[in-house]
Every structure is written in structure tokens, then in C-alpha cells.
Structure 1
Amino acid sequence: MMEIALYQVRTFLEVMRTGSLTKAGRNLGYSQSTVTAHIRALESQAGTALFQRLPHGVRPTPDGEIFHDYATRLFGLVNELSAALAGGREISGRVSVGASALTVDQELTRLILECRYRYPKLELDPVGMDSARIPEEIGASRLDMGLVISPPGRKFPARANLCSEDLRTVEVMAVAGRELSDFLDGDTTNPVGTYLEEGPIRTVRILRVDSGSDSSERLREVIGKRYGMDSEFLSVGSVRGALELMRNGPCIAMLPREMVAREIESGEVGILREVPGERHVVRMIWNDQAWLPPVLAATLELARRVAPPLPVPA
């Protein structure tokens, strides 16, 4: 039976991640000689070489690849244990959470409220930014985790070394003020309203609540092909701001249906029937690391609890 220490396995995983003994030591706070000693101890216990030394770095041997698979599973269990035990003791610390304007109002708010209830000494530090920036900030260790809404299956660059988990699905729809949506869908032939008195609509504004989303680009293409209208982009900072602009001008936005359900029901805005909806996912992202700090493990588990799968409207 092999007798190995978790700190040695953690060193092994960091060497695998970086491909370098020096970089692994720098990230873990060890000298290169200490990293080398950890790897040699593992190789002695395994009875085989785990890495092939190269002029600039290392690469795993076939046995090293096998060892990596089991080491990853081992630390997955350690992280699960850490999160499970967190429920039985007081967790304190700080976790920075990146969130786009589409996830602040619901996902992040739920997470903060649940965190205050379960872990009063765990401080969540919300950081608002476009979803496209969040993986980059996490990869650079400037954020601990992030919450985004994106198309399912979107991949990160291989060099990003990120983990992600889809929490639930949402339906993203093209919505506009009621007058504009009725006109575009043919429910009225004379679009007269407070912002339409100067003449026919020739150009609409596409509101970009999250500039990192691809949905606005697809919406622009559909508007040109199906409605024969020009469009221009306008960035807004929140869903509430987008709704206000829709009430007062020819503006359209791709928004999660659940976020504007009340306005749709009241008739303030309407869904454009000619624009196909899109099914997206709420995704949490964090840095791929062998051992998760208890505060981060606890926060990820809370995010799973507060985002149960929700039915997508038919």
C-alpha cells in the first residue's frame, strides 16, 4: 500500500497544471528543491517515474497520467468532505464573486442572502463586470468565482485552467416596449406613440445589458433580415435600465424571460414572436485547483443549493 501525503499530491497536481517545477513552487510557496522532493517521494512510493524532465519544464509519463486521474478524484473527495463539514462549523473569510448584470439581481442576490443566513462570518464581495471578463479575472486570481448566463456548452480556452458547473437553464427572449412589439409583430399598422410621433421607425436600438453576450449580435442579424430595419447598439448597466429605455423609445433587448415576467404580464413589454428564443444556462466558474479553501468550497455548495433546476417556459 502506498503511503503518500496530501500535500505531496497537491504539489503533483500543481506541477501537472503548470508543466513546471518552478512555477508550481512559486504558486504553492515552495522552493524548487522542495517541489522536487515531493515528486521524488511520490515516484518512490509509486515505483515509477511520473514526469519526464524536459529542457523547459516537465511532462507526465503514461503512469503520470494515470496517477493524475486518481489524484484528481482524490482531491475531489477531499473538497466534498470540506464542504460537508463546513455545515457543522463556523466558516469565516471573504470570497470575491464576479457577476454580470444578468446575474446580479437573481443569482447573486440569492447567494448573498443564503450566505448571510448560513455563514454570518463569510463575506461575499460582489464585483460587477461583463461576463466575457469574468473567466479572465478568475484565471488571473483576481476573482475567486463567477456567475454568468451563457449558451450551454461554451468552452474556455485550454490555458484558462477553469472549472465550471451549470446550475440551471433560463430562456432568453427578444423583448421590446408594447407599442414597438405590437407593430413589429403586425398587431397594429400605425405605430403611433409618445416616441413615434415624428415618423416611421427606421432604426431601433439594441440594448446590451451584458456586452459579453453573443445574443445581441444574433438579434441584430434577425432584425435586419425579418424586419428590414437598421439597428445600433447601446450598452446599459442593468435590466431595470433596459426596461426604462424600452418604455420610452424604439429599443429591443435579449433578456431572460423570468427577469421580465412581471412586465410581460402587465403589458409594459412584449416578446417579439419573429425572433427565436435561446436556451442558456446559469453557470458558476472557479479556478481549477487541487484543494479548494473551505470558504470557497462552502460558497460553491451554497450556489448549488440556491439555484435548483427551474422549468423553462414553453
Structure 2
Amino acid sequence: MELRHLVTFQKVASLLSFTRAAQELGYAQSSVTTQIRGLESSLGVELFDRLGGRIRLTPAGERLLEYAEQILTLVEAARADVAGGDGPSGTLVIGTMESITSYRMPPLLEFFHHRYPKVQLALRPSLCAETRHALRQGGFDIGFLLEQETRHPGLETVVLAEEPLVLVAAPGHPLAGRRELSPVDLAAVSVLAAEAGCAYRDLFEAELRTVRGGAPFLEFGTIEAIKKGVASGLGISLLPVVTVAAELEKGEMTALPWDAPFSVYTQLAWRGGRRLSRELRLFIDQAKRLMREDAPLHAPA
């Protein structure tokens, strides 16, 4: 059993694709197939069920994957230690989203930048469903979710905080200054939102659908673009409080008297059952310390 064969097996098992594994490893597909067959021959078992154009792990393959990940983690640790590394190093690929990257993560990013400069944090913008899929397939090491559900099949999660939401408008908007609002009131105005797939946007849209019908939301690419649209009077928007706290304090926006009948939670997730490297454990521990709900809303000045 050769180490390179285990590397290839782990990649195929995480992606469930010989073609994609070959592309990521820089091999010809025939080489990947040969390595897997050689590994199967040496162990005397089949590691993958081949179902037409798709593959899946056999029970023997699932057992080997657990050992392969432990072996490769130990090899990585040994390489770093023998090479003279005296601290965490390497790259963590992190699925995240704008509201978390810009408003929740700065203390964490600052901590790693100053304390562990050899750990490279590669941030990948991703919607929650995409992040969950990438974690299960091995494309991301860890990911942030902002969702209503806090339990996800195949993943381990830590809830960092309930994320308060607020409905905002420009101070001169027709709904500003009202003491109470009904869904009918909200159905009559333009709503600015992130793209479909954003959890709180989808929940808000479902809430208004009974009185709003199929009227589309005005989609903006970023939270910053949404905030500018709201401030200029284009419409209202439901956003995490942390993203508009500064604008509310300055009077550039106003909070409307409507409480969302649902809650969403900032979560940290990784693939269940995987052996965590010291870098990944460190990231999880520090995220819990710096991003839990008792942490400040804003990064320290």
C-alpha cells in the first residue's frame, strides 16, 4: 500500500469522481484508475461500487477512508515537524459569506494574521447549500453557515450565535415612522434582497408570499449594494443587525417595527467523522472564543 495511492483514494472518495480527482491531482484519469485498482488488488477488496457513470464507496471503502485520513493527517504533521516547523502552518479552505466575512470574522482573521502567520486562511464566498455540499465532498475544510436549521446530515456543527435580523428603510420611506406593520403593508413596497439561496431572504420571501404572490424581490449582489439601495429610498430590506448597526446609529437608515417570526444562527461546520488537524482544531477553538454571541458586534478598533 503506497502513500500516493492513499492520497489518490482519499481524493476520489471525497469527490466521488475519478475525472475531478485526476484534474485536482494533476494526473491522467487512466493513472488514477490504475492506482485505485492497484490498491483494491493489494487489499483484496473493492473500494468503489461503479454504477454506470457514478461511483460510491463500498463498506470496505468507507472503512479505509477513515484510516487513510488518519494516516495522511499524521504524515502532514510529521512533515511539518521534521521540516522544522514549530507551529501551525498550511492552508485552511473556508466557505463563508459576506455578512460573516465582513462583520463577524475580522477579530478571528486578525488573530491568525498576527499569532499564526504560517496558517493561510483561504476564504471562498459561498451560499449555505453550496458550503454544505463542498464540506461533504471535501472541497472545503470548514465553513460558516447562516441558517434556521442547526443540524445538518453528514456534518458536525457549532452554533456561534443567534443572528438578530432587522427590517430597514431610508428615514424618508413611506413606512418609516409607522408604529406597526402588517404583511399587507410590506407586500405593497419594493424589497431589496440578496440572491435566492440566502437563508433569511428565502424565509422572508416565504413569509410574504401569501400576501405578495409571486412578486419578485429586487436582487442585489452584495450587502453593501443593498444598503446603498435602501439608503437611497429604493425599498426596504431584511438584514442581520450587525451589517447595519453603524447606519442605524448614524440615522442613515431606520428600523421598521416588524419582528421576523423566524430565527437564523451563525454556525461553524465541518465534515462529520473526519480527523481534525491541529490547524483546524485551532480555528474552531478560536472561532468559538472570538465569535460566540457574547463577543462584541464589531471588530475592536
State the TM bucket, normalised to the shorter chain: 0.5 to 0.7
Deviation at 1:236, TM superposition (A): 3.2
Q: Which segments of 5 or more consecutive residues in structure 1 lack a partner in the other structure?
A: 44-48, 157-161, 187-199
**Taking structure 1 as reference, are residues 221 and 142 closer, same or farther at Cα in structure 2, changes over 3 Å only?**
closer
2:160 partner amino acid:
R
- Aligned equivalents of 1:144, 1:211: Cα separation in 2: 25
SS at match of 1:298: helix
Work out the CA distance in 1 between the residues paired with 2:187 and 2:14: 53
After superposition, the Cα gap between the structure-2 partners of 1:50 and 1:261, relative to the gap in structure 1 and judged at 3 Å, is same
Alignment match, 2:41: 40
- Structure 2: stretches of 5+ with no match in the other structure: 295-301
Query: TM-score by structure 2 length?
Result: 0.62
Corresponding residue number in structure 2 for 1:114: 111
Aligned to 2:63: 67
Measure how far apart 1:58 and its partner are: 7.1
Quick one: percent identity of the two aligned structures? 16
By percentage of residues, which structure has more strand?
A: 1
Counterpart CA distance in 1 for 2:17 and 2:137 is: 18
Q: Could you tell me which residue of structure 2 aligns to residue 233 of structure 1?
A: 217
Which aligned pairs between 1:1-314 and structure 2 lie closer than 5 A? Answer: 9-14=6-11, 16-17=13-14, 29=27, 30-43=31-44, 49-51=45-47, 62=59, 64=60, 67-68=63-64, 70-71=66-67, 74=70, 78=74, 88-89=86-87, 91=89, 97-128=94-125, 130-131=127-128, 146-153=143-150, 165-177=157-169, 180=175, 182-183=177-178, 185=180, 203-223=188-208, 232-249=216-233, 251-261=235-245, 268-270=253-255, 272-284=257-269, 298=279, 301-302=282-283, 304-308=285-289, 310-311=292-293
The whole-number CA distance in structure 1 between the counterparts of 2:21 and 2:256 is 52
Name the CA distance, whole Å, in 1 between partners of 2:243 and 2:107. 14
Scaled by the length of structure 1, the TM-score of the pair is 0.60
Aligned residues: 279
- Secondary structure at 2:197 match in 1: coil
- Say if 1:24 and 1:35, in contact at 8 Å, map to a contact too: no
1:136 CA drift (Å): 6.8
1-side partners of 2:112 and 2:40: how far apart?
39
Contact kept in structure 1, 2:150 and 2:267, CA below 8 Å? no
CA distance in 1, matches of 2:50, 2:147: 39
Deviation by residue 1:19-42 (Cα, 9 ceiling, x = unmatched): 677876776545533333333333
CA deviations 1:40-75 (Å, max 9, x no partner) are: 3334xxxxx35477686876665x167347527745
Cα distance in 1 for partners of 2:213, 2:63 equals: 58
Q: Deviations over 1:201-248 (max 9, x none)?
A: 98322221354314324324534657x899652233444443444344
Q: How far is the alpha carbon of 1:105 from its aligned partner?
A: 0.9
Which has the higher Rg, Structure 1 or Structure 2? 1
Distance change (3 Å), C-alpha of 1:229 and 1:262: farther
**Contact conserved, 2:14 with 2:138, CA < 8 A, in 1?**
no
